[in-house]
Amino acid sequence: MMLALEMYRSLPRHVAGKAIGGRVPGLLSGYAAPLRLMTIDEPAIDRPGWARLRTRLSGICGSDLGALSGRTSLYFSGVVSMPFVPGHEVVAELLDDCEDLPAGARVVIDPVLTCAARGVDPCEDCVTGATNRCSRITVGGLAPGLQTGFCADTGGGWGEVLTAHRSQLHVVPEGYSDEQAVLTEPMACAVHTALRAGVADNDRVLVSGAGSVGLLTTLALRSLTGAGEITVVAKHGHQRELALQLGATEVVAPDEALRRLRRVTGAFQIKPERSAAYLLGGVDVAVDAVGSKQSLETALHATRAGGRVVLSGMPQAADLSAAWFRELEVVGSYSSAQRETGLDGRSAFEVATELLAGDAVSSLAKTVASYPLHRWREALDHAHGAGRLGTVKVAFDPRSNR
Ligand SMILES: [Zn+2]
């Protein structure tokens, strides 16, 4: 038996969460959250290539908060299986030998539950290594689930023990702290986003949002692309400092973003009736690193005609008029691939691990705050207000009883 946080289906709670959870901090972790601390059986998958792991740290992601507050679209209800233990940003140690990896090895998990993990013949995307696009995520030898942390069979990082397949495991190099390692999965997503952005040399880039996604994406854009000026939209003071350290050229507040970009790109600003202002002209590429209506509209409204907008945060409804009128290329960026186009076929995890070795990230890793499972309400409130509270990442440490 083990201790774990479990998310269970409850449509009325989903609706209640939708009405209040996103707006009032505290209520997210209150009665409306469909999460409970349980003593349950350890997950066990008795097939070759699978092993048990003990969680060391597991991050709380914006998509977890979205699911718990009911902001996530019901679109995703078809690719998860309830009840599940959340947690897809995981650093853990192997409890069993797993093929070439010995018990005790410290690893991070690529959470996508691909054809290889499911024990089925590889789909077209898995064959090419675009594993984040796998289309067999509901079939094979596992309950439906797009990732570890959304699947009833595998467990997740918000429990003491989980299971994973060898194809998901990446060894953490010696000398990396757990706090650095727990940033590997979000860093890999940022690497994928930087590649999806299709930045040409000296392109002017906007990153809308400076939470962990926006900050790590800024680092990936600066390290892996020939981006020129990178403007980051940040709400909070400490985000401004971190964004500059990670490669931003300038940082602006949300309400200044359009005015500033109008000036530096020589665009025209249009102020329509009772809706958000927009530019004619603007940046070449924008990344929405939040997924809120406001951050996505900032990205759409600040991009020049024919430019590209990358959806990195899980998006909510927004006005798509600019996408049509300005002929924007709007592209999604979901998770990361085991063989990335544009990285000579290397995995996003491998490149993410290298980027995490840099000095700029060490100050980021120092802000990781961890909680024992039984303080989950505080942890979720902290994650919800992380930007305001000077934290980049909040994580659970299921080994702790503090
Ligand atoms: Zn597949």
Average pLDDT, the chain: 93
Going by pLDDT thresholds of 50, 70 and 90, the confidence category of residue 21 is: very low
* Tens of pLDDT, residues 140-180: 999 999 999 999 999 999 999 999 999 999 999 999 999 99
Beta bridge partners of 230: 205
Q: Quote the ligand 1 centre to 128 CA distance (angstroms).
A: 10
pTM of the predicted protein model: 0.95
- CB burial string 277-294: b at 16+ within 10 A, e below: ebbebbbbbbbbbbbbeb
| Mean pLDDT to the nearest integer, 231-251 | 96
- Centre of ligand 1 from the C-alpha of residue 99, in Å: 21
Tell how far the Cα of 312 is from the centroid of ligand 1, in angstroms. Answer: 21
Interhelix angle 212-224/237-245, rounded to 10 degrees, is: 20
Dist. CA 52 → ligand 1 center (Å): 23
How far is 56 from 49, CA to CA, in rounded Å? 21
Q: Ligand 1 centroid to 130 CA: how many Å? A: 8
pLDDT, one tens digit per residue, over 67-110 is 887 778 888 888 999 999 999 999 999 999 999 999 999 999 99
Q: Where would I find the beta strands (DSSP E) of 48-204?
A: 50-59, 90-94, 106-109, 161-165, 169-171
The predicted pLDDT at position 16 comes to 52
Q: Is the pLDDT of residue 62 over 50?
A: yes
For residue 20, pLDDT over 90 is answered with: no
pLDDT band at 199 (very low <50, low <70, confident <90, very high): very high
How many Cβ atoms are within 10 Å of 306's Cβ, its own excluded? 10
CA–centroid distance, residue 398 to ligand 1 (Å): 31
pLDDT per position as a tens digit, 363-383 = 889 889 999 999 999 999 999
Residue 124 CA to ligand 1 centre (angstroms): 7
Quick one: pLDDT at residue 15?
55
Q: Specify the higher pLDDT residue, 199 or 21.
A: 199
CB distance 158 to 40 below 8 Å: no
Phi then psi for residue 156, to 5 deg, are: -150, 180
Whole-number Å distance, alpha carbon 339 to ligand 1 midpoint, is 13
Q: pLDDT, tens digit, for every residue of 22-50? A: 445 454 555 567 899 999 999 999 999 99
| Element (DSSP H or E) covering residue 363 | helix 359-365
Report how far ligand 1's centroid is from the alpha carbon of 135 (Å): 5
Q: Is the pLDDT of residue 232 over 90?
A: yes
- pLDDT bracket for residue 10 (50, 70, 90): low
Q: Could you tell me the distance, in angstroms and rounded to a whole number, from the CA of residue 126 to the centre of ligand 1?
A: 4
pLDDT in tens, 289-317: 999 999 999 999 999 999 999 999 888 88
pLDDT surpassing 70 at residue 251: yes
For residue 316, the model assigns a pLDDT of 84
Question: Backbone dihedral region of 319: left (phi > 0), alpha (psi from -120 to 50 degrees) or beta?
Answer: beta
Question: Which residues neighbour ligand 1 (ion) by CB within 5 Å?
Answer: 114-115, 123, 126, 134, 136
The proportion of the chain whose per-residue pLDDT surpasses 90, expressed as a percent, equals 81
Q: Return the amino acid letter for 95.
A: L
What integer pLDDT is reported at residue 12 of this predicted model? 47
Report the distance separating Cα 6 and Cα 9, nearest Å: 10
At residue 323, does pLDDT exceed 60? Answer: yes
Residue 160: closest CA among 385, 373, 332? 373
Cα 118 to ligand 1 centre (Å): 9
Cα(127) to ligand 1 centroid in Å equals 7
**Is pLDDT of 387 > 90?**
no
